[in-house]
A and B are shown apart, each in its own frame.
Chain A
Amino acid sequence: MPVIEILGLEKTYATGLFRKQRKHALHAFTLEVYEGEVFGFLGPNGAGKTTTIKLLMGLVFPSAGSARILGLSIGDPRVHAYLGFLPEQPYFYDHLTARELLEYYAQLSGMEAKGRARRICEVLQRVGLDGSAETALRKFSKGMLQRVGLAQAILHNPRVLFLDEPMSGLDPLGRRELRLLIEELKAEGKTVFFSTHLLADAEALCDRVAVLHAGRLRGVGAVCDLIGDAGRVELVWRGRNPVAMRPLLLETHISGELVRGVVPEAAQEEAMKILRCASLPLVSLTPVRTSLEEYYLRQTQSEAPPQEVRA
């Protein structure tokens, strides 16, 4: 059963002086996210990622379509008890200390008074802020605020987490710690839906990703499918680059006596025959796999109709 079901969700804003013009922030799309998945929501700035998350959080209202989380409509206030949310570039009440802020959120989340203090200590430790619990948030750096944001998102042990650009503002160590935290949350059975620009993180963490561009869903699929076989092979051999080989090569790179050439998979046998005839020793032969970056660029730079890989 899907944990998040988006059914033809669409968002249009009225713009202009008399609000007569319509701007499509999000074109109707359908998407399902399953329990225990780490789902990456990718797309350039202005693609509609934050709008989607705001719609799911009930901060803005859909122009058409609907969505359900854990079987409850997004308009149902009960659903929020099971959700954790980290907004993009979070800002908190800066007159409070980290502990006071978490105490406030714990009360709003309806957490029992008994065990609240212990849970706050646990999450502060988990995000690496146990030494700054009594510091006013106005003295926190951007990275520390991001950590507080994560702490409040996981505080009430939610089943589904929405993280909007969670890596933003974190240094490399912080990013690594966040990746580990997301992996831990997945191991605990949580569903994590996060938006990011950082494709390496998405590739390392996500079970599935969706690519959004200009408010349209361009593709959805399992990362292993998207970064699959590219239909090309890479050959590395020692010596020169034979003339007969050149028409077959899609890419060539010569480094010292090593030649690296990429040929279409169909031309693999012919390329090897040329090397054998020229007595050039083959060092390696590797199938080329598409990176998530290539897939992302293909989806966001082309005007071709959206490609459905596997919903």
Chain B
Amino acid sequence: MTVLTIARSTFREAARDRVLYSPAVFAVLMTGAAILVGQVSIGIERQVVINLGLAAVTFFGVIVAILVGTGLVAKEIQKRTLYTVLSRPVERWQFVAGKFVGLAGTLAINGGLMGLGLLAALRYVSPGFSGADAWVLVAVYFILLQLLMVCGLALLFSTFSSPLLAGVFSFALFVLGNFAQELRDVAQSGAGWVHRLMVGATYLMPNFSAFNVAAGVAHGESIASLLILHNSIYAVTYTGMVLCAAVLAFEWRELQ
């Protein structure tokens, strides 16, 4: 109950925060631009709209996840709003979990709306729904899973650093996560303890390689059910571990 109360409050705060609306507006603008580009790209309108649309959903989703996520705990500590919350029968893990659930809900609704906007744009360039549209929705689902992990990381960093540093760390890991597979391959080529350290480090960072399906979906390729299952389990497990680390860090944090 306490977790849900904090989650609802976090959602309401995000919903009243202008930072949440601007990416949605920009996403609509981007989709509009995609439609225009699609009209001048004879024969590949659909590919252009899907590529640009998915990129816009990812970009604005990550911005919201990092901007709001890094402020979730750090801002409450800085502004001391946390004092009156933790002086009630609220445990620290409940606070972290509530904040995460609230932001995850916000991101899901935000991403979902952007996904619907993308479908509307696709409908505009190619009237009538096709089976391939379902894969576009799966691609949006993969983006939401990535946002979930980024949100968890932003929350983790915000429990022990400033919002600015937490934002830098989260964004850096998001970028590195997109090259995780390449980094793992490089790390595997080494030897000795440095090799083991590097391999360990690459497994600690999120691996977004398997989540990037935009190019295939744009060409009408389907997505294997096994990949959907794999990505879902990976995202939930990774986010769960990151949240456990965030709870541990926050349990020890002194609110000076």
Contact = CB atoms under 8 A, between A and B. Distances in A.
A95 B80 contact: no
B83 A57 contact: yes
Contact of B9 (A83, A89, A91, A93): A93
B90 A108 contact: yes
B91 A77 contact: yes
A110 interface: yes
B88 A91 contact: no
A49 to B, nearest CB: 14
B87 A80 contact: yes
Given A59-B254, A93-B9, A108 B17 contact: no
A59 B88 contact: no
A105 B86 contact: no
Interface in A30-78: 54, 57-61, 77-78
Contacts of A8: none
B254 A80 contact: no
Interface string A90-132: 1111011000000011011110000000000000000000000
A61 B254 contact: yes
Contacts of A80: 87-90
Contacts of B255: 54, 59-60
B130 interface: no
A186 B48 CA distance: 71
Interface string A9-47: 000010000000000000000000000000000000000
Contacts, number: 73
B87 A85 contact: yes
Contacts of B212: none
Contact of A58 (B13, B80, B86): B86
Interface in B68-91: 79-81, 83-91
| Residue in B2, B80, B84 whose Cβ sees the most chain A Cβ within 10 Å | B84
B189 interface: no
A91 B86 contact: no
Q: Is the interface of B mostly helix, strand, loop or mixed?
A: helix
B254 A87 contact: no
B126 interface: no
| Residue in B17, B86, B89 whose Cβ sees the most chain A Cβ within 10 Å | B89
B79 to A, nearest CB: 5
Contacts of B81: 91-93
A24 to B, nearest CB: 15
B256 interface: yes
Nearest to B86: A59
Contact of A109 (B13, B89, B91, B256): B89
Interface of A: 13, 54, 57-61, 77-78, 80-81, 83-85, 87, 89-93, 95-96, 104-105, 107-110, 149, 152, 156, 162
Q: Which 5 A-B pairs have the closest CB atoms?
A: A85-B87, A59-B255, A60-B254, A107-B5, A87-B83
13 contacts: A57-B83, A59-B254, A60-B256, A77-B91, A80-B90, A83-B87, A89-B80, A90-B80, A93-B9, A95-B12, A108-B6, A108-B85, A110-B89
Given A87-B84, A89-B80, A108-B2, 4 more contacts: A54-B255, A80-B88, A95-B12, A108-B85
